[in-house]
């Protein structure tokens, strides 16, 4: 680990010598930083895979998933608050998710999310010079999860979430008009592990721990989005509410 940290320090020093070398060193340093973090971030994924057990248990889980799709699904909706890091800064992502719950085993849904925290970076604008620009990010994420263990009102779930969306920089001209630049697409995979507590029959509170792994990034934005993720979700079981009060 000491050798890796020394390498990062050396690369930071070398950045000052050449613009081309600066870009190369920045990419290598980001890669090293990501590898250091992944040592910790991948633990939730590994734990969730180990939790599913042996080959025989895998077969049992697959049978359980198949049987759940034979049941009548119940609709649900939930508000999502996700805390993670972007370039070592703590940020909050908000979102809404909706879908169907199959026999309290499998959830299939879709979510819409947006970056709530303001992240600024310097941007050199022709004729205006250096201005403060803010990162904007919105994405759609199909959500699939499997509940492999539960006891009374507690449910342990393996969510498998991937998403794709648009990120960009926005700034204001001297006349106050907002301008968007450097827009691009991104995609990510977010494995993890969640624990849900259900109360009053129709509501649930879920906490999750996972890792956001960027599969494609907007290279025009100098931010590191690969990060550990902490999620808090408030869930309403609309299907059961409808059946109870119709």
pLDDT digits (tens, 9 = 90+) for 138-196: 999 998 888 888 788 888 888 888 899 999 988 887 777 788 888 899 999 888 888 88
Confidence of residue 239 (pLDDT cuts 50, 70, 90): low
Using an 8 Å Cβ cutoff, are 202 and 240 in contact? yes
Using an 8 Å Cβ cutoff, are 153 and 113 in contact? no
Using an 8 Å Cβ cutoff, are 209 and 230 in contact? yes
Phi-psi label, residue 181: left if phi above 0, alpha if psi -120 to 50, beta otherwise: beta
pLDDT digits (tens, 9 = 90+) for 21-78: 555 555 555 555 554 444 444 444 544 455 555 555 656 767 777 788 888 888 888 8
The torsion angles phi and psi of 17, rounded to 5 degrees, stand at: -85, -35
Using an 8 Å Cβ cutoff, are 158 and 177 in contact? no
pTM: 0.70
* Residue 93: CB atoms within 10 Å: 21
């Amino acid at each position: 680990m000491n050798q890796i940290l020394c390498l990062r320090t050396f690369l930071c020093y070398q950045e000052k010598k050449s613009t081309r070398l600066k870009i190369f060193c920045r990419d290598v340093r980001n890669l090293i930083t990501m590898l250091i973090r992944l040592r910790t971030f991948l633990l939730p994924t590994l734990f969730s895979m180990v939790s599913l057990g042996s080959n025989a248990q895998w077969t049992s889980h697959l049978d359980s998933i198949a049987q759940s799709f034979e049941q009548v699904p119940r609709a649900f909706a939930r508000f999502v608050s996700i805390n993670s890091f972007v370039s070592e800064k703590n940020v909050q992502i908000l979102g809404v998710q909706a879908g169907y719950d199959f026999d309290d085993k499998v959830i299939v849904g879709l979510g819409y999310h947006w970056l709530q925290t303001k992240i600024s970076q310097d941007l050199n604008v022709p004729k205006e010079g250096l201005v403060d620009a803010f990162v904007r990010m919105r994405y759609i994420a199909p959500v699939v999860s499997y509940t492999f263990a539960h006891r009374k009102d507690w449910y342990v779930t393996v969510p498998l979430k991937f998403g794709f969306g648009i990120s960009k920089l926005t700034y204001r001209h001297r006349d106050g008009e907002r301008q968007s630049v450097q827009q691009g697409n991104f995609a990510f995979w977010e494995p993890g592990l969640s624990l849900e507590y259900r109360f009053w029959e129709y509501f649930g509170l879920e906490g999750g721990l996972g890792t956001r792994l960027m599969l494609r990034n907007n290279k025009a934005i100098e931010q590191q989005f690969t990060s550990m993720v902490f999620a808090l979700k408030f869930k309403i079981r609309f299907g059961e509410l409808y059946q109870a009060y119709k």
